[in-house]
Amino acid sequence: MSTIEQAVKRLEELRAAGVDVPWAATPNADSAPAPTTAVPQQPTSVRPLPTAVKQAEPAPQEAKPQDMGTRSKQVEIDLNKLAALGYIVPHATRSLLVDEFRVIKRPLLGNITGAAAGKIDRPNLIMVTSSLPGEGKTFVAANLAMSIAAELNHTVLLVDADPSRSSLLERLGIPPAQGLIDKLLHPDLDLSDLILATNVPKLAVLPVGTSNAQATELFASASMDLLLEEMAHRYRDRVIILDAPPLLPSAEARALSLHAGQILFVVQAGRTHQGTVQQSLGILQDHPMVYTLLNQSRGPKAGSPYGYYAY
Ligand SMILES: Nc1ncnc2c1ncn2[C@@H]1O[C@H](COP(=O)(O)OP(=O)(O)O)[C@@H](O)[C@H]1O
Ligand SMILES: [Mg+2]
């Protein structure tokens, strides 16, 4: 039986067992209510994501900066650059990528606002990780953030939590600034002063901050746990997306995974080896809410925005 056949069979088994799999249905518009059903324990729905097609025409700049209700500094995300790189930007015309992220975010948002919400600790803390560098974590985190920020009822805090290969700010066209590491080193700093409000309505960014040789230790520290607890509860109304380090080369992501309510595990199609994926999923095996996303899938299946599921 092929992987796809196994996946379809698994999906049917889940449905037969009475488990609702709302993300397998046709996606609605952004404003559609999030699903209210529980998802299975240890779900590992593999969703293929195509390689983004670079846009010829840059998107218009968002004119009105959004005050996140904090003392946040204002920064400008370079939307023209992001659009040229093929990322989702506000008012992007409908594309395969926009459709894909509509589907990807639904179960994640469903776990925040739906019936499963009470059963998950810190459901609004979503960690995007993968096995190795370069598999598309930052790409997925940024697009997920843009997609959720386009929702009527969700604000987003996108956190650069990858000190080893911090590229989020540069990708967004934002100059380096203090952030996560500074807060861990100096607990007296107020998070509100470090969070950057952006020109994308309902999207704020927390930089990784000043580079530090002790970043690994800091990430695994009790201070990090306290900080994530503070973020998840103080900004309870926000979806917090952690652009995290890869799981295998260092201990940082492993430590972070213990504190995130939901994990989006990125696998790069045609590149990440099966053994590598199994090793990573082994690290995450006790986590109750892991979604697996197949990034840069190609071939005929990539033409479908709904793709296939595997486990
Ligand atoms: N689906 C995709 N379509 C187009 N470009 C992508 C896609 N996924 C990743 N990339 C690009 O590949 C490069 C590596 O991805 P990145 O998100 O930085 O990986 P990571 O954060 O895992 O190290 C970046 O230039 C990113 O924009
Ligand atoms: Mg990255």
* Lookup: tokens for 266: 């990125």
State residue 71's pLDDT score. 66
Ligand 1 atom closest to residue 266's alpha carbon, by position in its atom list = 22
Following DSSP, what letter does each residue of 159-210 receive, concatenated? EE--STT--HHHHHT------HHHHHH-TTS-HHHHPEEESSTTEEEE---S
Residue 308 lies in a domain: no
Cβ-proximal residues to 282 (8 Å cutoff; 6+ apart), any chain:
none
| pLDDT for 135 | 94
Q: Output the domain CATH number for residue 62.
A: 3.40.50.300
Query: Is 310 a member of any domain?
Result: no
| Mean per-residue pLDDT, 53-78 | 59
List, in sequence order, every residue forming a beta bridge with 127; answer none if it has no partner: 242, 263
**pLDDT, position 264:** 97
Q: Please state, in angstroms and rounded to a whole number, the distance separating the CA atoms of residues 142 and 131.
A: 18
pLDDT for the residue numbered 118: 73
**Is residue 285 domain-resident?**
yes
Token pair, residue 90, equals 């506000």
Q: Is residue 82 part of a domain?
A: yes
263 Cα to the center of ligand 2, angstroms: 15
Any residues with Cβ below 6 Å from ligand 1, and which?
Answer: 49, 51-52, 85-86, 130, 133-139, 165, 167, 295-296
Could you give the angle at the alpha carbon of 168 between the alpha carbons of 164 and 173, nearest 5°?
135
Residue-wise pLDDT for 168-197, tens only, equals: 999 999 999 999 999 999 999 999 999 999
- pLDDT over 70, % of the chain: 72
> Has residue 226 got a pLDDT over 70?
yes
Residue 271 lies in a domain: yes
| CA dihedral sign, ordered 253, 292, 241, 42 | negative
DSSP state of 88: -
pLDDT attached to residue 59: 44
Q: Which of 139, 242, 276 to mutate to test the pocket of ligand 1 (most atoms within 8 A of CB)?
A: 139
pLDDT digits (tens, 9 = 90+) for 35-53: 222 233 344 455 667 666 5
Q: How many domains does the chain have?
A: 1
| Structure-model confidence comparison of residues 137 and 12, the more confident one | 137
Say what the pLDDT of residue 47 is: 60
Check pLDDT > 70 for residue 68.
Answer: no
User: How remote is the CA of residue 14 from the centroid of ligand 2, in Å?
Assistant: 33
Residue 246's nearest CA partner among 125, 168, 161 is 161
Q: Is residue 309 in a domain?
A: no
Q: Is the pLDDT of residue 307 over 60?
A: no
Mean pLDDT of 210-224: 89
Q: Kindly report the average pLDDT of the chain as a whole number.
A: 79
Establish if 205 belongs to a structural domain.
yes
Residues with CB under 5 A from ligand 2 (ion): 137-138, 167
Look up the domain containing 184 and give its range. Answer: 3-303
User: In what order do the strands lie in the sheet containing 290-297?
Assistant: 46-50, 290-297, 262-268, 125-130, 238-243, 155-160, 203-206, 196-198, 73-75
The mean per-residue pLDDT over the stretch 123-142 comes to 96
Q: For residue 215, what pLDDT is reported?
A: 86
